Structure 1
Amino acid sequence: MRSRSVLTTVTTAAALAATLTPAAPAQAHTAHKAKVATQDCPRLSAKLTWHGDNRAKLQRTIDERGKCSAHRRGGKHGARPVAAFDWDNTIVKNDSTDATIAWALKHDKILRPKNWADTSKWLTPAADRALTKACGTDVHVGHPLPTSSNAACADEILQVRGEAETMSGEKAFAGNWNHRRTVPEYAWVPQLFAGHTIQELRTYARAARDEALAAPVGSEQKVGTHTVPAYSRYYEQQKDLLRTLKKAGFDVYIVSAGSEPVAEEWASGVGIDRKHTLAIRSVVEHGRITPWTEGCGGMPRSKGEVIPYNEGKRCVINQDIFGIKGARAWQQQDWRHRIAIGGGDADTDVTFVGDATGTHLALNRNKPELMCRGYDDADGRWAVNPMFIEPLPRKKEPYPCATEGFTNPDGSLGPVRRSDGSIIRDQEDTAYGEEA
């Protein structure tokens, strides 16, 4: 009824105005204003390929929430809309944290800890023994390990970080942790750099970034006996998206489960400053990184019990961007205190991407909960896209959404549920690259 009344009023007013003023000049003026407004509205590049109608979905949110929206054009600007993105494999191809670790190992930048067990509260005795045996005790505590020449030491570090196991296949981490707030091998990365200054770590990250960006696409390198990616690239589509969002008046943030100094250096390459880069924040004492990390949502400092991982990313966004303090930061907020656009590529991103009120961008790396929610598309605002470089082929088996797509806090698996409690059925993979 309200829309019909407004339409009648506008129609009557237009008819009256037509009898009082010449129509042609008014129409020309209105058309000119509309044309100018359209030209000034930031647009995503039509030259860059997106899957399906994903560009249109993102553009719709930019238009709805950005500077050209009716709300913002009317002078009622309010708070700037927020967009938040994961970093590794979302904005950049390949893992910048792993690239930085590889560079550090090749250049002997990991300092020997007094005891490897001190680096993580969950490190198993088996991992402690394996690291001690491989890396030795000849090097003085706090001095660089010769990982460029000691392949066994480099291998154990890479295996613990990448596979959460030793080279002999034993578990590297054990105990209890909230699987929706942390994962030990992620928390272990900044702990590996304990003893360094923040500036030193930034220098290593910058060197690793420059080397990876210069390497040919698809290239690999040997670290220890491991073969790992040697290259990285910023996705052109994502660079364009970040630029367009900024032009449209969005506050754009990176929220990463990597070490904050590393994420900061890599994010600077696409114009995201340190203030807008949120990641694992190490506790610094006497100018040196420690194995301790800052808490969130009322949780104290710890050895990695809370990091920007899954629900931890929601907590950091609520706390550091929207100013929500204490335990409330773990909860989904009202519409005004949520991001407009969220983007990620893994289950570590699923909670904050799902919190977005405009568009949920999911890059397909076959991660079950993210893909279940993306393909279910409960609110019609999910945009599932293959990776822009070397996209994965189609996953032949459906995602097990109805049985084990969701990871519970204790690590057990269960069904993925919508906000109303209903279970998402198994989903077919539909946004993928060409078959190899």
Structure 2
Amino acid sequence: MRSRNTLALSLAAAATLAAAVPTAFPAAAATTADTANSRTPGAHCPQLSKKLTWYGDNRAHLQQMIDERGTCANPHLRHGHKRPVAAFDWDNTVVKNDITDATIAWSLHHDKILRPASWKSTSKWMTDEADKALTAACGTDVPVGAPLPTSTDTACADEIFEVREDGKTMSGAAAFAGKWDHRHTVPQYAWVPQLFAGHTVPELKSYAAKAREQVLAAPVGATQKVGTHEIPGYARYYDQQRDLIRTLKKAGFEVYIVSAGSEPVTEVWSGGKGGVGVDREHTIAIRSVLDRKGRITTWNQGCGDVPVNKGEAIPYIDGKRCWINQEIYGVKGKSAWQKQDRSHRIALGGGDADTDVTFVGDATGAHLVLNRNKNEVMCRAYDDADGRWVVNPMFIEPLKQKPDLYPCSTSAYNEPDGSKGPVLRGDGSVVPDQADSVF
């Protein structure tokens, strides 16, 4: 995995991938290249497909950003000049539904989870209640390191999935407790690659590939059972996002995926046959430390000033900014958690949830948000402080209009200590409550 089992990561070469000087959607001054292109329309401007439906004038906004920041206005991008960067979240941004859930479901249905020596050792935040619940449900008859019979043991499958999905036991007790920065990580997300400890990366990728085949073949709207849980049983690549990524790449952009899922799982979906053409070098997600035999451990690679850890610094909210700054722009140490100057920020950010709000907000050209009624990110999107936010309903099974206002002025912001607070603009002013208008 590109030497990801080592403790130090070096992507200094990627530091040259800086975003170009930004322009806003409201009329930008024409450059010489723009003027030349106006005489030969489309000569250097890869176009988004007009056969695919976008909400309102969103296609036009995105096309304007592509034209202004890509090869249309900057034909020398193809000759070693600094290229603008676009970064996308994965689950429910590029694809409909959650590929982590699909992979865990397939693994539970096929007895691929190995019994740990103790459940409590799988996460530094796991509670005694969760340890006891998992031990009681999954038993101790299976030898440590052997597969648990989750395909037939409904109680064990239920308990594992409940901890992953809601951070609780089936009885409702908290599965995780203690202190963590709620803008850097969430224990049940970090627990997913830890759950696959003992497997090799190729093994985990094979499970993800089989899950992918299953959910892509299932009809839209299909569900599946995991224990007694009913979850979506299908997934689809969004045609609009596939086309957007294709067009960005043709226009000279570097395109990255930045996900809070397990990196081997995300790589199966982002690249290869049927993917969106984003290779593993451009796919960033939770990176597990491997042991000497190449097996996944419960330790993760670190970011910024956080060294190898048990889940404290995953690509989650501010953590996505850290990983982008570190891996794409070569920013080291504590500074990787900070907002960078314009030349070291992405041009386009795409997401769907509060987990994406920081890196999407860092974008200098366009902030694309798929509306899933998530408070913090939708407050930012509807406030549209810089005029560059592009809000679109989900392309498949969009949500109905949120009946009440987003509580931007009081409780939409996710504080580091886990409490809720008001969403503030860059100047410190409070974002007023927002109505849901794009659905």
Per the TM superposition, whether the score is higher than 0.5 is yes
SS state of the match for residue 46, structure 1?
coil
SS state of the match for residue 404, structure 1?
coil
Where does structure 1 lack aligned partners over 5 or more consecutive residues?
1-30
For 1:166, the equivalent position in structure 2 comes to 169
Pair member with larger Rg:
1
Q: Spell out, residue by residue over 1:258-285, the C-alpha distance to the aligned partner (whole angstroms, 9 max, x if none).
A: 0000000011111111000000000101
Q: Spell out, residue by residue over 1:170-204, the C-alpha distance to the aligned partner (whole angstroms, 9 max, x if none).
A: 11111100000000000000000000001100111
* Residue in structure 2 matching 1:150, options 137, 146, 153: 153
For 1:68, the equivalent position in structure 2 comes to 72
Instruction: Check whether the contact 2:263–2:284 (CA below 8 A) recurs between aligned residues.
Output: yes
SS state of the match for residue 316, structure 2?
coil
For 2:341, the equivalent position in structure 1 comes to 334
* Residue in structure 1 matching 2:436, options 408, 429, 432: 429
Give the alignment of 1:232-381 within 5 angstroms. Answer: 232-268=235-271, 269-286=275-292, 287-381=294-388
Distance in 2 separating the partners of 1:145 and 1:207: 19
Distance in 2 separating the partners of 1:230 and 1:75: 42
Is residue 92 of structure 2 the alignment partner of residue 118 of structure 1?
A: no
Q: Spell out, residue by residue over 1:212-236, the C-alpha distance to the aligned partner (whole angstroms, 9 max, x if none).
A: 1011000011121111111000000
Residue 33 of structure 1, CA deviation: 7.2
Distance in 2 separating the partners of 1:165 and 1:228: 17
For 1:28, the equivalent position in structure 2 comes to none
For 1:216, the equivalent position in structure 2 comes to 219
For 1:57, the equivalent position in structure 2 comes to 61
Residue 144 of structure 1, CA deviation: 0.3
Cα pair distance change 1:150/1:239, threshold 3 Å: same
2:181 maps to a residue whose letter is N
Instruction: Check whether the contact 1:258–1:279 (CA below 8 A) recurs between aligned residues.
Output: yes
2:350 maps to a residue whose letter is G
For 1:4, the equivalent position in structure 2 comes to none
Distance in 2 separating the partners of 1:380 and 1:405: 21
Distance in 1 separating the partners of 2:248 and 2:376: 27
Distance in 2 separating the partners of 1:400 and 1:144: 45
Is residue 49 of structure 2 the alignment partner of residue 45 of structure 1?
A: yes
User: What is the percentage of aligned positions where both structures have the same residue?
Assistant: 67
Structure 1 runs (4+) greater than 4 angstroms displaced: 31-37, 73-77
Distance in 1 separating the partners of 2:166 and 2:41: 52
Give the alignment of 1:12-51 within 5 angstroms. Answer: 34=38, 36=40, 38-51=42-55
Distance in 2 separating the partners of 1:322 and 1:357: 15
Residue 32 of structure 1, CA deviation: 10
For 1:205, the equivalent position in structure 2 comes to 208
Distance in 1 separating the partners of 2:38 and 2:174: 63
TM-score for both structures, normalised by structure 1? 0.90
Distance in 2 separating the partners of 1:208 and 1:189: 15
Q: CA RMSD in A?
A: 1.6
For 1:401, the equivalent position in structure 2 comes to 408
Residue 78 of structure 1, CA deviation: 2.6
* Residue in structure 2 matching 1:415, options 405, 422, 428: 422
Instruction: Check whether the contact 2:302–2:309 (CA below 8 A) recurs between aligned residues.
Output: yes
For 1:104, the equivalent position in structure 2 comes to 107
Q: Spell out, residue by residue over 1:38-60, the C-alpha distance to the aligned partner (whole angstroms, 9 max, x if none).
A: 24410111111111111111111
Where does structure 2 lack aligned partners over 5 or more consecutive residues?
1-34
For 1:22, the equivalent position in structure 2 comes to none
Residue 35 of structure 1, CA deviation: 5.5
Distance in 1 separating the partners of 2:402 and 2:80: 44
Residue 298 of structure 1, CA deviation: 1.8
Distance in 1 separating the partners of 2:335 and 2:82: 20
* Higher helix proportion (structure 1 or 2): 1
TM-score for both structures, normalised by structure 2? 0.89
Give the alignment of 1:74-93 within 5 angstroms. Answer: 78-93=81-96
Q: Spell out, residue by residue over 1:367-401, the C-alpha distance to the aligned partner (whole angstroms, 9 max, x if none).
A: 10100000000000000111000111000000000
Distance in 2 separating the partners of 1:259 and 1:122: 19
SS state of the match for residue 221, structure 1?
strand
